[in-house]
Structure 1
């Protein structure tokens, strides 16, 4: 199975150069300022892409998707929208969650205690975990050299050890690293100035 992974496109999705693949995954921040029109345009864009499956979560910029799961799913009819839930594709177990530590009074913010309860919902047998936030200490450093990831997510990952953890959020730390049995990928497409400069990720499972 070939995954094509993107994140933090901030309304610039039509400028992406996407390779073909089996599953397209977006790790959140579809919009710049939470515009529902941008989400609808992204949904229209998905229609013509050469993927058998499309999996999407929200990010802190996507305030229009925070109001209700039902309205989010109705706006993203061309994808499987995941909010604290999973989907199995060709035997591969995916799970998606949009939450993050408090960040500039934006959407999907939770304190670490509440985040910990969200992460406990992740199935122990998950193969591919999709979050918007990085775990603390892994591809989560901003331009001020501060760690922005979730400490409770890092603790939970020590218990579940997925094959692949995909996220974005911290544009400056785009990259990949393998720790233990897990490959971590920060797939942010925009740089810290919100310019679309980064290539998409292609991952074979």
Structure 2
């Protein structure tokens, strides 16, 4: 189980899981950041309501971190379903096939998926010698090719009725696929995000926004800078199970859509939002 692995890793490390966590940097800048907590309006998980003036819109449903338990998640219907990664525990072929099949039960016309750090084998450039011993030799090389029922986004965009969605999986947690170094490689990675992105989908949170694991900040400062510069309407992510929630900084809704709690047990807690279309369908 993921929770057993996490406990073993924490004991082995005996200090910080992420020794490069930028707690001190966040403490230095946090007083200048806007963070308004946005509660869900109802059990469906809506954080806003659809336009009432006849404006065409997309209903977008967000989930993440289902860890081979998608069958236990109650997903509201809608136009777009987003999964922000960690749909498996270690990228096994049979679990990828199962996830791909399970996604067909949802009625959404568009199903957008990014990989998480647990999708072993998805990252062409991963240094597998850095993996934890229990992960070595696991995963499915180019396993994303098995995801035939969804749109897999890795440094890619898709435009739906004029609304631009962009997805990417990079993160700053060592020992996993899509790990990149802070303040150097990650800064270059985020340059790929288009300036006109409306909905950004990543696995990692930005620094300081729903990213706290214990006393560590697992978010990325360069991702935060990118979001603040581009100002997408929504930024969807997961990764840090215990920080499920939504914050708003007057420009962007930051949504941590993790479905599992700290103990890796599904809570069934999707988010739903409505975004106006920019073209007629």
Q: Which bin holds the TM-score, normalised by the shorter protein?
A: over 0.9
Match in the other structure for 1:6: 63
Is residue 36–residue 64 contact of structure 1 (8 Å, CA) maintained in 2?
no
In the alignment, which of 88, 96, 100 is matched to residue 39 of structure 1? 96
Match in the other structure for 2:152: 81
1:37 CA drift (Å): 1.4
Secondary structure, in 3 states, of the residue corresponding to 1:32? coil
Q: Deviations over 1:82-119 (max 9, x none)?
A: 0011000111100000010024x122111021111110
1:164 CA drift (Å): 0.3
Q: Deviations over 1:110-151 (max 9, x none)?
A: 102111111011000000000000000000011x22211001
Match in the other structure for 2:172: 101
Residues 21 and 133 of structure 1: is their aligned pair in 2 closer, same or farther, counting only changes over 3 Å?
same
| CA distance in structure 1 between the aligned counterparts of 2:260 and 2:173, rounded to whole angstroms | 21
- 1:185 to 2:242 alignment: no
| CA distance in structure 2 between the aligned counterparts of 1:185 and 1:9, rounded to whole angstroms | 16
Is residue 188–residue 198 contact of structure 1 (8 Å, CA) maintained in 2?
no
- 1:123 to 2:180 alignment: no
Equivalences, count: 202
Is residue 191–residue 198 contact of structure 1 (8 Å, CA) maintained in 2?
no
Secondary structure, in 3 states, of the residue corresponding to 1:39? helix
- 1:170 to 2:227 alignment: no
Match in the other structure for 1:149: 219
| CA distance in structure 1 between the aligned counterparts of 2:216 and 2:226, rounded to whole angstroms | 21
1:198 CA drift (Å): 3.9
1:5 CA drift (Å): 0.6
Is residue 93–residue 143 contact of structure 2 (8 Å, CA) maintained in 1?
no
Match in the other structure for 1:66: 123
| CA distance in structure 2 between the aligned counterparts of 1:41 and 1:54, rounded to whole angstroms | 15
- 1:16 to 2:87 alignment: no
Residues 72 and 88 of structure 1: is their aligned pair in 2 closer, same or farther, counting only changes over 3 Å?
farther
- Moved beyond 3 Å, runs of 4+: 70-73
Q: Structure 1 length as normaliser, TM-score? A: 0.94
Higher RCO structure (Cα 8 Å, ≥6 apart): 2
| CA distance in structure 1 between the aligned counterparts of 2:239 and 2:66, rounded to whole angstroms | 10
Which ranges of structure 1 fall in alignment gaps of 5 or more residues? none
